[in-house]
Structure 1
Amino acid sequence: MKSWSWPEIKQRLQCPVDEDAEYENTTWCNRDLIPIPPERRTYGVWSYFGYWTVSGACISAWSTGSTLLAFGLTPQQAIGVIILGSFLCGLLSVFCGWMGEVHHIGFTVSSRSSWGMRGSYFPVILRSFVGCMWFGMQAFWGGQATRVMIGAIIPGFAHMENYFAASSHLQTNDFIGLVIWMVGFIPAVLIKPEKLQMPFFFCFVLFCGTCFGMLIWAVSQAHGAGDLFHEPGTAPNTGWAFMFGITAILGSWGSGTLGQSDWVRYSKRRYAPTLSQLVACPLTIAITATIGIIVTSASNKVMGGDIQWNPIYLLADVQEFYGSSPRVRAGVFFASLGCVASQFSISVVLNSVSTGMDLAGLWPKYLNIVRGSYIMAIIGIATQPWQLISTADKFLSVLSGFGVFMAPATGLMLADYHVVRRHRLKLSDLYRGSPSSIYWFRSGVNWRAFAAFTVGMWPLLPGLAANVNSWTEPKWTGWLRLYNLTFIVGLAISFLAFWGLNIFFPVPGTDIDGPFIVDGRDLVIDGVARTSGSSEGDAPGPVKNEHGRERKGAVLEVSVV
């Protein structure tokens, strides 16, 4: 039996490199971090419509809208919140994804220009943590949908005895459903991002069937949209509840908009994602959430009891309400199948690929999207998401809490790219971990980014603490109202702070742009010629094969507009 030395083991553990690749795995570079080459840009206009139908038509959108009813808003007010919040999400997506369209790089790499080569670890870790928590919640919903689907086939499974403590907020059959769902999710991670268009479409069709099927049932049985549309809201202060709802929506999709460049970098041509961001994003979120609100209201009239804001729980209640008749069980099975498919797709789209890429940026030699996704899955389940989403209030608190950290990170990134650098990036320097890189700043850290992030975040922390702990004393009222504007306030403050710091403490290289050069040769890609000198430092250099000879072939360069 052959014994391997430690250097051989390390070599085998490194991320795979494409055959005849013109890059190598370094501290800053691997296949998932380089600018996407032309042959891997497979997303057109309709592909991005598919992306946003998956991102917008999902259980999160349904639950966010209908949860606003439990929070005290009327259905009309909740729909208004959804429309405005989803439009703002679409607008943010355009500006956050701009660098992905132009430079074909993702958030993990682009954050190096604003935070510094080493400083970029902070936003990457932050977004990875949020992504892991989001995956945990999405996976738990997927497990519950699987439990309902199995319970429609085997009614006894729906009434399985629970062996977990009541304080855990976890049922035994939910746990079994989660395990089964994870068994299906694990191989789905292996699908390359550029090959996900057809799975997008398939899952979207299934979930659309679920949404409209439940809508038809609820409206027909209730003979309308339900009594909640004619009742006054119960929120103590409607205006601030309205703003809190917008904060929850922006917090819900904030991580996705911040990392839009992770996906738009796969675009075949410029502006391919823009129409879907401005149309499909707000449209799908608004329609899904509105359907959720109508079904929640109508089903409450049909079955009575507490407002059921989660479609998975509602399906289980429907089966019980009609005595598990064969026809109802068939309907519940197909409806829950759409929920299962939706959770698979949303977990890959908004969690697996983006979080996997973030984690790959922490250790590019040994982590790529697939390996990072598996780490994300482990951490996400370890966060015990069933505790986070046990009630409607907790669900909204979690969503809005994400915005406290996502908003300042988004604001300073927008200021850096759109105002300070005016869309100019020297791509080769984003892969060079040495003082020769214009993004090295001081010891690899740009202190301006950390200062702007702190300034944008700290005013929101008292309100976050008061909201989570239900502190209602008058002294917390002002902080809570400021917290209700989390995403807008945090983004605006950090944007202005970062811009101002760069005016008073300017950095060199903000007017320099350049392509991703591997060996210094002049190239023409996408019809734009570029010339550059040889690379330095840790920049990706000529790649040699196992015999020590340099690989031949076209050298990768990305045009900069």
Structure 2
Amino acid sequence: MESQEKQSRTQYWAKRLECPVDEDAGYHNTFWCNRDLIPIPPSRQTWTWQGYAGYWVIAGINTTAWTSGSSLLSLGLSVPQAMGVMVGVSLISALIAVLAGWPGSHQHLGFTVLCRASWGMRGGFWPVINRIMTAIIWLGIQMYWGGQAIKIILGAVIGPKFVFWRNTLPAGANVDTASLVSFFVFLVVFLPCLMVPPERLQMPFRVTFVMITLTMFGILGWAIGTNGGPGPLLHTPATAKGSALSWPALFGLQSIVGSQASGCLGQSDWTRYAKTPNAALFGQLVAAPIMICVTAVCGLLITSATAEIYGVYLWNPFELLLHVQQTSLTADCRAGTFFAGLGFLCSQLALCIVLNCVSAGMDLAALCPKWINIRRGGYFISIIAIAICPWQYVSKPSTFITVLSGWSVFLSPMTGIVVSDYFLVRRRNYHLGDLYTGNRSSAYYYWHGFNWRGFTAWIMGIWPTLPGFARSIQEVSNNNGWDHIYQITYFYGFFSALLIYWALHTFFPVPKQTGSSPFELAEHVQMLYSAEGDSQREVETIEAERLKVDV
């Protein structure tokens, strides 16, 4: 009797904790489906071209683009050569974003569901898990920099007592007291933001777009005006020639493109909210390349000018503002750093949501759709990102950062597979209902839920790059053949996986490989009810059992 009571209570709470379902919805929470995984209905297709332009301004003005000049100059390039590489980065990133985002804007499906077509209904969990792992680390790092923005703001408001707050933490903590306090203050600001659904984020993003743009150009004007010019860094010559320059330049190009890999891979997670099929194109083809290039140029100019002012090269904008406060705390300085910190705070809030929480939240929803949606997944990811103590990876660089930076070795073939599947294999059509059917009747069930073609293409896209990847981690590269393959890892992985996947589906086709069928919600519900039993009867039974237990 006691075991029956416990079982009844478990069933009751399992039902109560299921993800919300829209009123009069034609779908049902199952192992494959919930509100955030189905094709986005017209009522939630709210994003216009202005929203996507703001998205790419926020994604373009980040520390990766800001500090890219430092990375390229360290490889031996001159400033004009570095800027040429950044132009290439921006154009390639824009093109990949368009290709990866096209299924979202036209089929209103996210990357998580698209993987089921190319990897299989069960095999699709593999790329999802990969993306969750990278999102956890990058979210933690972005939250840490958000904490640094809070530290700048508090330093401007409180003054010397906070800026020079004595550190009470041991050296092994790799974080000071003020930074740790600021990190948790950022969490208090950030976590409530996850309550806002993606379709309602356009207005907050527009505000952030204005603030971060004004912040970047404000710092640029101050740096050049205070120094009386851009400084000598712009005249730095190249320190290498011939192949000693061309291979590092190519490596720099693909490395920075690879740093955008996760965002480009998950473009469909955002383009599926597009109000019109082409709403995202202006942001992807115009705003994205312009902002990536402009941010890199501004980073170079600001660093060059402030190097003459303070006598040290500070490529990271957060470190620059903190250094300014430690050098001078006049009223003008405090006001300037306050507004700059506020701009970067808004930017970090948006970046945490744009690049990590929404995509990773949907990935987690795919693992357990009945009980996890984007919002719950975002909170779950945030908790893990806090638990890993992200300041350990920022304050104390290690081999782990090298591994994380080279993660495009694994992500670039996944991007190639998604693009190949949609454009070349499926010819831009899907059997939508089959993407939510986890049995042999689905066109995407393949062999026990796994598509061996996708796994084969992915393995062929990564294995030649692994020796060079390992050698770069061990710092024993000597420019041999394996090293050169690794230096073009993103391009090799993308194109090799794309072509191999297409070839395998051409020579080993599957039933219903092409063609389309709509996601008929009424038929979907009927199918689910026949497979799972009458849902209403189940609810009534659970409620009756609960009443018995209470009595």
Q: TM-score, normalised by structure 1?
A: 0.89
The letter for the 2-side match of 1:469 is: Q
Say whether 1:514 aligns with 2:511: no
Q: Which one of 21, 37, 43 corresponds to residue 41 of structure 2?
A: 37
Structure 2: distance between partners of 1:13 and 1:198: 30
CA contact (8 A) 1:219 1:298 kept: yes
Aligned ranges for residues 374-393 of structure 1 at < 5 Å?
A: 374-390=379-395
The residue type equivalent to 1:423 in the other structure is: R
**Aligned position for 2:547:** none
Q: Distance in 2 between matches of 1:232 and 1:166?
A: 39
Determine helix, strand or coil for the equivalent of 2:438. Answer: coil
Q: In 2, are the aligned partners of 1:409 and 1:491 still within 8 Å (CA)?
A: yes
Match of 1:312 among 303, 318, 333: 318
Displacement of 1:285 in angstroms is: 1.4
> How far apart, in 2, do the equivalents of 1:119 and 1:537 lie?
25
Question: How far is 1:200 from its partner?
Answer: 0.2
Find the residue that maps to 2:67 and give its secondary structure: helix
Equivalent residue for 1:373, pick from 353, 374, 378: 378
Alignment partner, residue 426 of structure 1: 431
1:146 pairs, out of 147, 150, 155, with 150
Residues 538 and 501 of structure 1: CA distance in aligned 2, closer, same or farther (over 3 Å): farther
Question: Which residue is equivalent to 1:497?
Answer: 500
Partner Cα separation in structure 2 for residue 50 and residue 99 of structure 1: 21
Q: Which amino acid aligns with 1:489?
A: Y
Go from structure 1 to structure 2 and tell me whether the alpha carbon gap of 1:102 and 1:413 turns closer, same or farther (over 3 Å shift). same
- Aligned pair in 2 of structure 1 residues 61, 222: CA closer, same or farther (>3 Å)? same
SS, match of residue 519 in structure 1: helix
Q: How does 1:63-462 map to 2 (within 5 A)?
A: 63-154=67-158, 155-234=160-239, 237-305=244-312, 307-321=313-327, 323-390=328-395, 397=402, 400-462=405-467
Which runs of at least 4 in structure 1 moved beyond 6 Å after TM superposition?
391-396, 536-543, 545-548
Q: 1:164, 1:170 within 8 Å by CA — same for their partners in 2?
A: yes
Do the aligned residues in 1 keep the contact of 2:529 with 2:535 (CA within 8 Å)? no
SS in 2 for 1:516: coil
User: What amino acid is the match of 2:343?
Assistant: G
Residue 446 of structure 1 deviates from its aligned partner by: 0.4
Question: Quick one: which amino acid aligns to residue 485 of structure 1?
Answer: I
Distance 1:38 1:106, change over 3 A: same
Cα distance in structure 1, aligned partners of 2:250 and 2:168 = 41
Equivalent residue number for residue 549 of structure 2: none
Q: Is the 8 A contact 2:71 2:252 kept in 1?
A: no
Residue 485 of structure 2: which of 482, 485, 490 is its match? Answer: 482
Distance 1:79 1:171, change over 3 A: farther
Partners of 2:137 and 2:390 within 8 A in 1: yes
CA contact (8 A) 1:518 1:542 kept: no
Question: Deviation of residue 543 (structure 1)?
Answer: 7.4
SS in 2 for 1:458: helix
* Structure 2: gaps of 5 or more residues: 541-551
Superposition deviation, residue 520 in structure 1:
3.3
Look up the equivalent residue of 1:433 and give its one-letter code.
Answer: G
The Cα shift of 1:387 comes to 3.5
Cα distance, 1:187–1:546 mapped onto 2, change above 3 Å: farther
Partner AA of 1:287 in structure 2: V
Q: Contact conserved, 2:45 with 2:275, CA < 8 A, in 1?
A: yes
- How far 1:130 moved relative to its partner? 1.2
Cα distance change of structure 1 residues 171 and 547 upon mapping to structure 2, 3 Å threshold: closer
Distance 1:43 1:418 in 2: 24
User: With structure 2 as the length reference, what TM-score do the two structures score?
Assistant: 0.91
Which deviations, in whole Å up to 9, do the C-alpha atoms of 1:442-468 show, x marking residues without a partner?
000001111111111111222222222
Aligned residues of 2:27 and 2:522 also touching (Cα < 8 A): no
Deviation of residue 534 (structure 1)? 7.3
- Counterpart of 1:366 in 2: which secondary structure? coil
Aligned identity (percent) is 44
CA shift, 1:27, in A, is 0.1
Q: Which residue of 1 aligns with 2:27?
A: 23
| Preserved contact between residue 163 and residue 326 of structure 2 (Cα < 8 Å) | no
State how many pairs are aligned.
Answer: 532
Spell out, residue by residue over 1:151-171, the C-alpha distance to the aligned partner (whole angstroms, 9 max, x if none): 122222222233444454322
1:376 positional shift: 1.1
User: How far 1:334 sits from its partner (Å)?
Assistant: 0.8
CA distance change for structure 1 residues 244 and 355 in 2, over 3 Å: closer, same or farther? Answer: same
Q: Read off the aligned partner of 2:47 and give its amino acid letter.
A: Y
Deviation for aligned residue 1:399: 6.0
Alpha-carbon spacing, 1:534–1:10, altered in 2? closer, same or farther (3 Å): closer
Instruction: Report the Cα offset of residue 379 of structure 1.
Output: 2.3
Shift of 1:480: 2.5
Distance 1:76 1:547 in 2: 67
Distance 1:303 1:396, change over 3 A: farther
1: CA distance between counterparts of 2:81 and 2:170? Answer: 38
Report the Cα offset of residue 186 of structure 1: 0.5
Higher helix residue share: 2
Contact preservation (8 Å) 2:261, 2:412: yes
Distance 1:467 1:160, change over 3 A: farther
